[in-house]
Amino acid sequence: MARLFCYLTAMALTILALPVRAEDGYDLWLRYAPAGQARGTDISAHARAISAQGDSATMASAKQELQRAVTSMTGHAPALTTEPTAGSLWLATPGSAPAIPVSLKGLGAEGYAIRSIDHAGQPITLIAANSDIGILHGIFHWLRLAQTGASLDGLDIRSAPRIGLRLLNHWDNLDGTVERGYAGQSIWDWWRLPDYKGPRYTDYARANASIGINGTVLNNVNAKAESLSAPYIAKAAALADIFRPYGIKVYLSVKWTAPMELDGLKTADPLDPKVAAWWKAKTDEIYRAIPDFGGFLVKANSEGQPGPQDYQRTHADGANMLAAAVKLHGGIVMWRAFVYAHDNPDDRAKQAYDDFKPLDGKFADNVMVQVKNGAIDFQPREPFHPLFGAMTKTPLMMEFQITKEYLGQSTHLTYLGPLFKETLDADTYAKGKGSTIAKIIDGSLDGHRLTGIAGVANIGIDRDWSGSIFNQADWYAFGRLAWNPDLSAEAIAREWTAMTFSPDPRLIDPVVAMMMGSREAAVDYMTPLGLAHLMATGHHYGPAPWVSELARPEWNPVYYHKADADGIGFDRTKSGSNAISQYAPAIARRLADPATTPESELLWFHHLPWDYRLKSGETLWDGLVHRYDRGVAYVAGMQRTWESLRPLVDPERFAQTEAFLAIQHREAQWWRDASIAYFQSINHLPLPEGAQAPAHDLNWYKARSFPYAPGHN
Amino acid sequence: MARLFCYLTAMALTILALPVRAEDGYDLWLRYAPAGQARGTDISAHARAISAQGDSATMASAKQELQRAVTSMTGHAPALTTEPTAGSLWLATPGSAPAIPVSLKGLGAEGYAIRSIDHAGQPITLIAANSDIGILHGIFHWLRLAQTGASLDGLDIRSAPRIGLRLLNHWDNLDGTVERGYAGQSIWDWWRLPDYKGPRYTDYARANASIGINGTVLNNVNAKAESLSAPYIAKAAALADIFRPYGIKVYLSVKWTAPMELDGLKTADPLDPKVAAWWKAKTDEIYRAIPDFGGFLVKANSEGQPGPQDYQRTHADGANMLAAAVKLHGGIVMWRAFVYAHDNPDDRAKQAYDDFKPLDGKFADNVMVQVKNGAIDFQPREPFHPLFGAMTKTPLMMEFQITKEYLGQSTHLTYLGPLFKETLDADTYAKGKGSTIAKIIDGSLDGHRLTGIAGVANIGIDRDWSGSIFNQADWYAFGRLAWNPDLSAEAIAREWTAMTFSPDPRLIDPVVAMMMGSREAAVDYMTPLGLAHLMATGHHYGPAPWVSELARPEWNPVYYHKADADGIGFDRTKSGSNAISQYAPAIARRLADPATTPESELLWFHHLPWDYRLKSGETLWDGLVHRYDRGVAYVAGMQRTWESLRPLVDPERFAQTEAFLAIQHREAQWWRDASIAYFQSINHLPLPEGAQAPAHDLNWYKARSFPYAPGHN
């Protein structure tokens, strides 16, 4: 016994002495950190065994995830049983366990119920669903409870996704670059697929399944025809095989002229029978390799991409031709409403509405129109897109941008939860008060069965996936809101922080507070009061409100702010572009008058004199400057908060965030100073009392150039 | 006691149950895997403590590495003491420990001695050196012994590097791409430097220091002027600060026209005083940020790069102007001899010699001329470069290519140790028999003090650094041979295999056997019998011996093989380009006659009829085909060997190599079939008996295209 004791002592010391695995962010919110003795015992008591009968790949993944997680959190590996036993997690579907003591009605194919029950006198936790995928979602819910310190007793949870298609859009190119990617190259190793399938693909699927994402568009909407060639179909199929057990379908972006480029057709006219036949045959080829292929995403007649309008056909003609090809296989077409630049518009913000509103009712029933949250392009703040509420006969799919092209890219901490929520909660008044965008995209307002939401991924090959630890929160928040748009951004931030760092409230409270104000801070230091699109050309990194010489008017920041000696802002009322008429009358009336327009959107809708009085009583100019300063000050505050958390965060992740906050603070100051220097050169107004002059003159800011900025296509 | 026992039992079980860290290759040959009980005890007994007095950053790194390694291998953390104690590793320099019982003479600034000694009656292991860097090299030697299962008793080792500058050349671009990079993007996060300094930079330095590499050229020889701008100097300085404790200096590639591009000078003429003054000022600026900056690497007047010849000046004029700028700071200039393409040459292989031989003796004493191992471009096999032995008054620096542009890129297992050794051991006869290239580059043949060797890095952001586990061996072998060119490729492969996989001879013997024949197999299936440069245009991926229509003759594979109905090969004898006259007479005589030319170089030097009889008695054509088949068969054999090792290798690394060997086998067959189909279209000869016809016709091979092949600039 003494020898055994010594042996075990030695072993314990041996193992304790091993270097701890660096917190490099790879594990995302699935860290399953050791829970401590008390909590570990609690978790163990609820996971003594994993009881399940199914043996599908999905069920195997669910069991494996539970084993890995519980073992890592508690140090005790749960047993595997087929019948539920005391303290077990019982994974039950109608197919594997006929007598489930909970109703599965309303849970659909992906939802689940979790209930603490007595089973033959034994306390167990039932995770029940209509399908194995539902079970997988359920175990991730239970693991979220376990990781965040929630009670595991008396559970009675029912959850099903509100939105049917919850997709990531990867703007990943076949050469490994990522358009608007700030986290390194694409995680798709196209070159070595389908032969080499590294472990990262599985971890990608796990992460997505854990937040309910059920589809992924693999390639950039600015697509290459080769994505549909046989070798690339085989590569996509290899990924689909890996993702399938996690309930994630694969979709592809297509280039409109693929039939011409790949097979020498003379036209891509959607009404040409040869073109339709080509797409039919190509679709059949894809479905032979990927039987559950999801469908196509199309960017057509936008920013130089070809499309049906090149053949005097409508977007609906194009979408419906593709829809017919995928229909038999159960596939869908997602047709993007992000179109601009046919002609110089009177107002770029109006074009999508003008092009698509007349097509409402003309799309096949397996077509969705995918609409960005705002009418311009993923700005720090935009009013909601006027197509929401305007196309009641067409299922509209939301397109958010998770990658922060305009919100600080890889280094600024600007949590997007509040941005997503602002759009989802926006009331379109399409069918009276309460016609929120969430109700439009979940289909409830207009009675659509086909529903969807997409997020442009912020994922790359960087070890931490998203370019920074805090950018992971945006991926997480997108998934959680796609499942349930009613969640609050703050509750999501709390979950994420608890799982990513620690459930210690000394850490959670200040981190969540930082996160919650961070997006508004970016609005303040970049584009306050409804300004937009003042970023530098091409890479959109940093301020360049002075740019005025690009070929098309709407490429220039001056087009958006319209600042002159007298005032600033884009008049979208009747006296201007009248874009406000695209909204429901109740909204349009409010927006017609600056006094009833939310100040956060003031200069989006109105051109106002510099001495216009804000609600605070200060002039528009003074209010602008004060907002710039407030944004910079918020970042300084985040730096102080983070510094105070040093004892509670591992050195590696602490150092990354510390470095990035320093960059953010410097760049917030740069935005503020460059913007003020420029606007002062136009309005010649003094700064409000106490405001610092910019550190450099305007020419200094204009001269800065960044030829190697990432993410630029 | 019983409670403590239980607690420890629980703890041991807890920790044992944690998932084992995946073998993703990140740790390279510094895995420090648990050594097992017997060996662990043995290692522990020799590392009970680490005894050292110095507290420099280098010494701290040495102690940290020892602690990490010994703890990981044995489970016991060594104590830290200042004075040597029983069983300690005693790290001693003259500065920290005046009475060192071993001579340090001849060890220089980087060498070390390791000796098992009695110190005041105690058995200890002394690691002694003239400098802390020497200590660091010494501890890595000791750790190599510990990891490979070597005896740790009775040690009496003295080691100092034979070559002074042992450098990696990164062909990394400022936009994150890597020219000829097959392991993902650059590990230099230029965009977020100097603010964010992730842990990978330190691990890069550790890995290099462990094999004696002491310098790194950060950016591509096809340089951008901005590399010398103030922001990029600050970024390079941040890296230099990280590398400095590991004895690694930073160097930069420069673009010749940087003075014009960055500061608007009207010329880059090296003899213009304003140009010289610009470089002087720029150099001073760099040294203010990086006091130990190593110097410049220059690719001038080659492949479109600007250079002094644009101003009717010589390479020496250019190099010496730069050399004067860095001289005061102790810096050097490395001037590449890889020049071609001014005019259409009669033989590209002759140009470097023709350009540089006349300049011998004209370079300043802090200039080295950097010469590729062969006269063309890193082919699977090339005769050694004729400049070796021809420029006795100039220190020549060897340039090897570790990244396998022409040897299977990321997926073929083609261990480069034998290739490096073949060149190093080649006898130039410059000063009679025994005038090996190793003796030229280590300075001993011509009495040069300034000596150097460079390897074009195969490093990228891929988790395994080099694109594959086995590619790591090439990085390792380069470093080991740079330190000591007399090591055998096989001994290096054994070390690497033991550290990377396991010291188990059941694994080492077959793996090393695979590795040792693998490069010859690539020669066989790609370019047997002295053929060269038959790769596809641009990306150099796959076979394209038929290409004949590129603008310059020497861009075309047909230029290199010169196959016609009558025969094949490049006549470099007197009846041809007479390139053989660039070699020493003893060699030239041998190469003048096919019968005395090594068959491995036969078609490099001779154009021979298809029915020329090889030493085996078979015709040249039959011999070619047999070699193609032998290469393919070798790869099949590696697949069988690897499969037999499944029980001895972790699943993750096993699967990667398994997948890559399958790719290699398919591509070896492709090389073989495409080459035979093409040559048959020219010679119309039947295949030798038993040889399989190619799987497709020639047009099929010609039609293959790979627009997204990686590494292409």
Cα angle for residues B470, B475, B476 (degrees, 5° grid):
85
Residues A475 and A421 in one domain: yes
Q: Flag whether residue A433 sits within 8 Å of chain B, measured between CB atoms.
A: no
Residue numbers in B near A660 (CB within 8 A)? 195-196
The minimum CA-CA distance between B196 and chain A, rounded to whole Å, is 6
Residues A412 and A527 in one domain: no
Q: What pLDDT does residue B342 have?
A: 63
- Rounded distance between C-alpha atoms, residue B474 and residue B496, angstroms: 10
Q: Are B657 and B468 in contact (CB under 8 A)?
A: yes
- Residues in Cβ contact with A184 at an 8 Å cutoff, skipping those fewer than 6 apart: A178, A460, A461, A462, A467, B176, B184, B185, B461
Q: Say whether pLDDT at B10 is over 70.
A: no
Residues B112 and B141 in one domain: yes
Q: Do A12 and B8 touch (CB under 8 A)?
A: yes
Closest by CA to A683, choosing from A560, A559, A566, A526, is A566
Give the pLDDT band of residue A13 (cuts 50, 70, 90): very low
Q: What pLDDT does residue A713 have?
A: 67
What would the pLDDT profile of A232-287 be if each residue is shown by its tens digit?
Answer: 999 999 999 999 999 999 999 999 999 999 999 999 999 999 999 999 999 999 99
In this structure, is residue B6 part of a structural domain?
Answer: no
Instruction: Give B 631-670 residues with CB within 8 A of chain A.
Output: 652, 656, 659-660, 662-663
In this structure, is residue B21 part of a structural domain?
Answer: no
Average pLDDT over residues B578-587: 98
Sheet holding A122-128, edge to edge: A79-81, A49-52, A88-92, A122-128, A112-119, A156-159
Q: Say whether pLDDT at B1 is over 60.
A: no
A65 is catalytic: no
> From the candidates B23, B42, B110, B377, which is the catalytic residue?
B377
Question: Where is average pLDDT lowest: A9-13, A185-189, B448-452, B597-601?
Answer: A9-13
Residue numbers in A near B11 (CB within 8 A)? 12, 16, 75
Instruction: Give B 156-185 residues with CB within 8 A of chain A.
Output: 174-176, 184-185
Q: Flag whether residue A709 sits within 8 Å of chain B, measured between CB atoms.
A: yes
Q: What pLDDT does residue B344 have?
A: 64
The residue among A473, A500, A527 that closes a domain is: A500
Q: Say whether pLDDT at A3 is over 50.
A: no
**For the stretch B384-410, what's the b/e string if a residue is b when 16 or more beta carbons lie within 10 angstroms of its beta carbon?**
bbbbbbbbbebbbbbbbbbbbbbbbbb
User: Which CATH number covers residue B260?
Assistant: 3.20.20.80
Closest by CA to A15, choosing from B74, B414, B291, is B74
Share of chain A above pLDDT 70, in %: 96
- Rounded distance between C-alpha atoms, residue A301 and residue A337, angstroms: 10
Give one word for A306, left, alpha or beta, with left for phi > 0 and alpha for psi -120 to 50: beta
The minimum CA-CA distance between A40 and chain B, rounded to whole Å, is 11
Q: What pLDDT does residue A98 have?
A: 78
What would the pLDDT profile of A437-494 be if each residue is shown by its tens digit?
Answer: 999 999 999 999 999 999 999 999 999 999 999 999 999 999 999 999 999 999 999 9
Q: Are A209 and A64 in contact (CB under 8 A)?
A: no
Largest CA distance in chain A: 92
| Closest residue, chain A, to B658 (C-alpha) | A196
> From the candidates B355, B382, B405, B622, which is the catalytic residue?
B405
Instruction: Give A 182-211 residues with CB within 8 A of chain B.
Output: 184-185, 190-192, 195-199
CB atoms within 10 A of CB A153: 11
Q: Do A15 and B16 touch (CB under 8 A)?
A: yes
- Rounded distance between C-alpha atoms, residue A343 and residue A301, angstroms: 12
| Closest residue, chain A, to B23 (C-alpha) | A199
B65 is catalytic: no
Q: What pLDDT does residue B115 have?
A: 98
Counting Cβ atoms within 10 Å, is residue B20 exposed (0-12), middle (13-18) or buried (19+)? exposed
Average pLDDT over residues B403-415: 98
Residue numbers in A near B19 (CB within 8 A)? 68, 71-72
Residue numbers in B near A38 (CB within 8 A)? none
In this structure, is residue A419 part of a structural domain?
Answer: yes
Amino acid at A16: L
Q: Flag whether residue A13 sits within 8 Å of chain B, measured between CB atoms.
A: yes
Average pLDDT over residues B629-648: 98
Residues B189 and B289 in one domain: yes
User: Which CATH number covers residue A48?
Assistant: 3.30.379.10
- Rounded distance between C-alpha atoms, residue B654 and residue B648, angstroms: 9
Q: Flag whether residue A231 sits within 8 Å of chain B, measured between CB atoms.
A: no
| Closest residue, chain A, to B15 (C-alpha) | A75
Average pLDDT over residues A611-625: 98
Residues B149 and B202 in one domain: no
B618 is catalytic: no
The minimum CA-CA distance between A77 and chain B, rounded to whole Å, is 7
The minimum CA-CA distance between A76 and chain B, rounded to whole Å, is 6
Residue numbers in A near B18 (CB within 8 A)? 71-72, 75
Give the pLDDT band of residue B346 (cuts 50, 70, 90): confident
Residue numbers in B near A663 (CB within 8 A)? 192, 195-196
What would the pLDDT profile of A125-161 be if each residue is shown by its tens digit?
Answer: 999 999 999 999 999 999 999 999 999 999 999 999 9
Cβ pairs A/B, distance under 8 A:
133
Give the pLDDT band of residue B701 (cuts 50, 70, 90): very high
Q: Flag whether residue A18 sits within 8 Å of chain B, measured between CB atoms.
A: yes
- Rounded distance between C-alpha atoms, residue B165 and residue B216, angstroms: 10
Residue where the block lists tokens 């479905």:
A287
- Rounded distance between C-alpha atoms, residue B30 and residue B206, angstroms: 9
What is the extent of the structural domain holding B70? 27-159
Residues A125 and A192 in one domain: no
Q: Flag whether residue B229 sits within 8 Å of chain A, measured between CB atoms.
A: no
Quick one: DSSP state of residue A689? T
Mean pLDDT of chain A: 95
β-bridge pairing B396-401 and A88-92: unpaired
In this structure, is residue A477 part of a structural domain?
Answer: yes
Q: Kindly report the length of chain B.
A: 713
Smallest Cβ distance to B17: which of A71, A197, A663?
A71
In this structure, is residue B34 part of a structural domain?
Answer: yes
From the CA atom positions of chain A, what is the Rg in Å?
Answer: 27
Residue numbers in A near B410 (CB within 8 A)? 191-192
Q: What pLDDT does residue B11 have?
A: 38
Residues A140 and A191 in one domain: no
Give the pLDDT band of residue A10 (cuts 50, 70, 90): very low
Q: Where are the beta strands (DSSP E) in A444-557?
A: 452-456
Residue numbers in A near B35 (CB within 8 A)? none
In this structure, is residue A3 part of a structural domain?
Answer: no
Residues B513 and B490 in one domain: no
Smallest Cβ distance to A68: which of B15, B19, B72?
B19
CB atoms within 10 A of CB A113: 25
Residues A598 and A511 in one domain: no
Average pLDDT over residues B544-558: 94
| Closest residue, chain A, to B189 (C-alpha) | A184
Q: Say whether pLDDT at B266 is over 60.
A: yes
Smallest Cβ distance to B75: which of A15, A184, A663?
A15
Q: How many domains does chain A have?
A: 4
ipTM of this complex > 0.90? Answer: yes
What would the pLDDT profile of B471-480 be if each residue is shown by its tens digit?
Answer: 999 999 999 9
Average pLDDT over residues B236-258: 98
Instruction: Give A 76-115 residues with CB within 8 A of chain B.
Output: 76-77
| Closest residue, chain B, to A666 (C-alpha) | B195
In this structure, is residue A590 part of a structural domain?
Answer: yes
Token pair, residue A563, equals 């600042």
The residue among A484, A500, A516 that closes a domain is: A500
Residues B153 and B236 in one domain: no
Q: Do B18 and A71 touch (CB under 8 A)?
A: yes
β-bridge pairing A567-568 and A608-609: antiparallel
User: Which CATH number covers residue A638?
Assistant: 3.90.1330.10
Counting Cβ atoms within 10 Å, is residue B307 exposed (0-12), middle (13-18) or buried (19+)? buried
CB atoms within 10 A of CB A555: 16
Q: What pLDDT does residue A15 have?
A: 38
Is the bond leading into A194 cis (omega within 30 degrees of zero)? Answer: yes
**Cα distances (angstroms) measured from residue A522 to each of A257, A403, A406, A668:** 39, 15, 9, 8
Residues B143 and B193 in one domain: no
Closest by CA to B394, choosing from B352, B424, B425, B426, is B352
Q: Are B530 and B602 in contact (CB under 8 A)?
A: yes
The residue among B555, B583, B606 that closes a domain is: B606
Residues A372 and A342 in one domain: yes
Q: Are B565 and B557 in contact (CB under 8 A)?
A: no
In this structure, is residue A12 part of a structural domain?
Answer: no
| Closest residue, chain B, to A199 (C-alpha) | B652
Q: Do A75 and B199 touch (CB under 8 A)?
A: no
Q: Kindly report the length of chain A.
A: 713
Which residues lie across from B335 on neighbouring strands? B298, B369
Q: What pLDDT does residue B687 have?
A: 98
Q: Are A545 and A561 in contact (CB under 8 A)?
A: yes
Share of chain B above pLDDT 90, in %: 93
Amino acid at B242: I
Q: Do A196 and B9 touch (CB under 8 A)?
A: no
Closest by CA to B50, choosing from B65, B34, B63, B38, is B63
